């Protein structure tokens, strides 16, 4: 057996488990529709929650920045890649989030790694929610800290772990605000209280709550009035902000340590001018157009009432069980004109493969109704024990 045979063997293994992944190339996109082959499908899998990706203000800002500064930043931030526009974005984010400081990262994946690797070293401890995103888990593995997983949103379990694992170094509690595959929310006020009681710092990944909750879409922490030196808010700019990149909003001491120790900040080329300009325009847009958020929440309520369940957020999981059934559900909807991606392990725990419906402010009530009309009879016909239970 050659090494390539072994590689093919691993592919076959993934296929046997029903976990084979492949890229679907869309040839066009207009608002909430994507073109696949020669068919237009209504997209219920995008994280462009506010439908801003084609907003002229963002597009024009990106074009103007490319004209003025060129297409690339040319180097990492600490070499010669840091420009006024990076600093302006960081000031804008700190003002919007009401934090002392903000630091731009090249993606949410890198921001999460940067925080966990940059703030900890051997002897430190990271307490992470069991359903936290892969980037937070990978950051935990990359850091030299010992990690402890607490049951999803289980404050008692977390407190037990905090009591059982003291450290004279740094301890972090890590969670998401809106969980990416479940759409539920973390008990952030209580977590911040635990962080204060146990002299730890709370890291909240706001990837799916930025642009969706809080004043001018500034996130769930802001919505709940949470602030202070013990809170780190990580946000992505590639989802509701319809741009790219990410930020860490925190106190200045944390930003300073990250500039010095976060490898995913230090060893990478700075974000390009067009991307920074689009993000800045998106934040300005949110501040001027609260009606976008309101439209998204109206859609959330509409879908919730059609499905007869409570939705904490714009993400609606339909948990189905094994990968094959999630793929069949996705195919069923695709045949009827909807793109709803099947989500399978290891993205979600074994036995909880699902459809993940994500809403946009740009969906119409008719589009939501027609999705439900296509989905509900199919679900009833399957007589699944766990369907739609969360």
Ligand X SMILES: Cc1ncc(COP(=O)(O)O)c(C=O)c1O
- Which residues form the interface with ligand X (CB under 6 A)? 107-109, 112, 133, 135, 176, 180, 205, 207-208, 236, 238, 246
Q: How far is the CB of 328 from ligand X (least distance, A)?
A: 25
What is the rounded distance in angstroms from the CA atom of residue 209 to the CA atom of residue 232?
14
Q: Which of 107, 140 has the CB closer to ligand X?
A: 107
Find the catalytic residue in 47, 135, 243, 264.
47
Which residue in the list 180, 218, 250, 358 is annotated as catalytic? 180
In which region does residue 138 sit, left (phi positive, over 0), alpha (psi from -120 to 50) or beta (all else)? alpha
> Which residue among 97, 239, 302, 332 is the active-site one?
239
How far from 245 is each of 107, 112, 235, 240, 322, CA to CA, in Å?
A: 4, 12, 9, 12, 33
- Of 177 and 299, the one with the shorter C-beta distance to ligand X is 177
Strand-pairing partners, residue 246, are 105, 236
157 catalytic residue (yes or no):
no
| Between 133 and 295, CB nearer to ligand X | 133
- Whether 34 contacts 26, CB under 8 Å: yes
What is the spatial distance between Cα 332 and Cα 335, in angstroms, rounded to a whole number?
A: 5
- Which one of the listed residues 55, 149, 182, 205 is annotated catalytic? 205
Instruction: Based on the residue annotation, tell me whether 239 is a catalytic residue of this protein.
Output: yes
Give yes or no for a contact between 279 and 143, defined as CB atoms under 8 angstroms apart: no
Cα distance between residue 221 and residue 150, in whole Å: 21
Catalytic residue status for 208: yes
Quickly count: other Cβ atoms within 10 Å of residue 53's Cβ: 19
* Residue 5 appears among annotated catalytic residues: no
Instruction: Find the shortest distance in angstroms from Cβ 88 to ligand X.
Output: 20
Residue number with the shortest CB distance to ligand X? 108
Token pair of 380 as six digits: 């009833």
Catalytic residue selected from 86, 106, 107, 133: 133
Q: How far is the CB of 135 from ligand X (least distance, A)?
A: 5
In whole angstroms, the minimum distance from the beta carbon of 234 to ligand X comes to: 7
Query: Is the distance from CB of 190 to CB of 206 less than 8 angstroms?
Result: no
> Judged by CB, which is closer to ligand X: 204, or 379?
204
Q: How far is the CB of 243 from ligand X (least distance, A)?
A: 10
Looking at the Cβ atoms of 313 and 367, the one nearer to ligand X is 313
Q: Which residues are catalytic?
A: 47, 133, 176, 180, 205, 208, 239
């Amino acid at each position: 057996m050659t090494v390539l045979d072994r590689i093919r063997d691993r592919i076959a293994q993934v296929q046997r488990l029903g976990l084979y992944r492949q890229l679907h190339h869309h040839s066009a996109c207009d608002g909430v529709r994507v073109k696949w082959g020669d068919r237009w499908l209504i997209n219920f899998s995008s994280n462009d929650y506010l439908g801003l990706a084609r907003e002229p203000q963002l597009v024009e800002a990106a074009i103007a920045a490319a004209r003025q500064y060129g297409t690339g930043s040319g180097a990492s931030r600490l070499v010669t890649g840091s420009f006024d526009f990076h600093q302006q974005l960081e000031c804008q984010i700190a003002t919007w989030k009401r934090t002392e400081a903000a630091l731009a990262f090249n993606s949410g994946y890198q921001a999460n790694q940067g925080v966990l690797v940059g703030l900890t070293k051997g002897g430190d401890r990271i307490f992470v929610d069991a359903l936290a995103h892969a980037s937070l888990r990978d950051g935990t593995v990359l850091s030299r800290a010992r990690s402890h997983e607490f049951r999803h949103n289980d404050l008692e379990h977390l407190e037990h772990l905090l009591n059982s694992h003291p450290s004279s170094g740094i301890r972090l509690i890590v969670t998401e605000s809106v969980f990416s595959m479940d759409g539920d929310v973390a008990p952030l006020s209580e977590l911040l209280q635990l962080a204060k009681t146990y002299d730890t710092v709370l890291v909240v990944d706001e990837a799916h709550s930025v642009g969706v909750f809080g004043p001018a879409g500034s996130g769930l922490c802001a919505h709940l009035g949470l602030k202070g030196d013990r809170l780190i808010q990580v946000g992505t700019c590639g989802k509701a902000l319809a741009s790219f990149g990410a930020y860490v909003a925190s106190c200045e001491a944390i930003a300073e340590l990250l500039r010095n120790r976060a490898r995913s900040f230090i060893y990478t080329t700075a974000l390009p001018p067009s991307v920074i300009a689009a993000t800045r325009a998106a934040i300005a847009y949110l501040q001027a157009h609260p009606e976008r958020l309101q439209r998204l929440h109206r859609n959330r309520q509409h879908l919730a009432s059609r499905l007869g369940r409570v939705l904490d957020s714009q993400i609606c999981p339909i948990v189905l069980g094994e990968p094959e059934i999630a793929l069949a559900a996705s195919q069923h909807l695709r045949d009827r004109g909807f793109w709803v991606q099947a989500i399978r392990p290891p993205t979600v725990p074994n036995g909880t493969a699902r459809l993940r419906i994500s809403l946009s402010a740009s969906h119409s009530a008719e589009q939501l109704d027609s999705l439900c009309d296509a989905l509900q009879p199919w679900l009833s016909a399957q007589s699944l024990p766990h369907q739609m239970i969360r």
